[in-house]
Structure 1
Amino acid sequence: MIRAALPEDAAEIAAIWNPIIRNTLVTFTTEEKLEADLASLIAEKSASGQSFLVFEEARKVIGFATYGPFRGGPGYKHTAEHSVILAPSARGRGVGKALMNELERHAKRAEIHQMIAGISSANSQGIQFHKAIGYEQVATLPEVGRKFDQWLDLVLMQKRL
């Protein structure tokens, strides 16, 4: 079941996100997410009209998706960047696609015209997933990220909503 995230979901979201931060090149960040910060982020997104969704199965959060501004300034107000992250048990089962469908519906209602995905080039599954749901690769920014003593490329993918 897809629903709006609640601040009380922060612990389960952190349990999904932090191993990815700690152990993979999927995200360039090295700072783990704190439950209190996630609870605040969920509340802020809700208050500002941006979506933060979770996929819940058997009363457990197994994935989430959210979007926010792509860049600052009023000229970019119709473009957003999203994140979609799944627990290992949720991958390959349509959970990500369902989350993205709902997230994109919300974004359209919020007058978002373009959705951007910034994906680590080390995340080939993420790139393939986005291609499968209609995103087009529009750029590769070479060596703009650094993690685990490696330079990483950022792949930008875009979908017109």
Structure 2
Amino acid sequence: MNPILRPATINDLDKILEIVNHSIIHTTANYNYDVQTIEVQTKWFEDKQAKNLPIIVAELDNEVVGFGSYGQFREKIGYQYTVEHSVYVVDNVIGKGIGSKLLLELIRLAKGQGLHVMIGAIDADNAGSIAFHEKFGFVATGTIREVGYKFDHWLDLVFMQLILK
């Protein structure tokens, strides 16, 4: 399985939206409750472009099967060298290396932009995502207990970080 990675275009937003909405409806990878609209996803895309923040997609057989991006960790100027990332893949390719390729590319791009730290905020019950991040050198730096609420229970959030060298 050898996906093509490329910058996302406006034409990819329907598939990105489908992936995002699946995660909202079915997982705690995304703490939103309501599915997003194409208008919201378009604004997200335009904001990323305006701030020179990447959105990359993974394509298999001309179909987008995953995407990754990062954005500012916090708004204050002192955080300007730190970003928080997201990687999503469709269910039928989880565990097949697509997420790894997306994350490696995000790390490469962040280093190229002179960034210093990449943060992952992961639901504490998502052992697979935590182990996935550890493979790339991310370390758990703390857990915020019961900070989220979804599917009728409280959710703990693990922060993981990678110092980019």
Same fold (TM over 0.5): yes
Compute the RMSD of aligned alpha carbons.
Answer: 1.1
Counterparts of 1:95 and 1:111 in 2: how far apart (Å)?
Answer: 25
1:33-58 superposed Cα distances (whole Å, 9 cap, x missing partner):
21222123223212321111100111
Counterparts of 1:137 and 1:96 in 2: how far apart (Å)?
Answer: 19
Q: Which residue of 1 aligns with 2:20?
A: 17
Matched, 1:104 2:107: yes
Picking from 76, 80, 85, the partner of 2:79 is 76
Matches within 5 A, 1:125-136: 125-136=128-139
Q: Which residue of 1 aligns with 2:120?
A: 117
The unaligned stretches of length 5 or more in structure 2 are none
Secondary structure of 1:37's match? helix
Q: After TM superposition, give the deviation of residue 106 of structure 1 in Å.
A: 0.9
Matched, 1:33 2:36: yes
Picking from 133, 146, 151, the partner of 1:148 is 151
Q: Which residue of 1 aligns with 2:88?
A: 85
Secondary structure of 1:31's match? coil
Q: After TM superposition, give the deviation of residue 120 of structure 1 in Å.
A: 0.6
Q: Which residue of 2 aligns with 1:48?
A: 51
Moved more, 96-105 or 32-41: 32-41
Moved over 6 A (4+): none
Secondary structure of 2:35's match? coil
1:67/1:82 contact within 8 Å kept: yes
Identity of aligned residues (%): 37
Letter in 1 for 2:55: F
Q: Which residue of 2 aligns with 1:8?
A: 11
1:138/1:156 contact within 8 Å kept: yes
| Total equivalences in the alignment | 161
Counterparts of 2:28 and 2:104 in 1: how far apart (Å)?
Answer: 25
1:45/1:52 contact within 8 Å kept: yes
Q: After TM superposition, give the deviation of residue 148 of structure 1 in Å.
A: 1.4
Letter in 1 for 2:117: Q
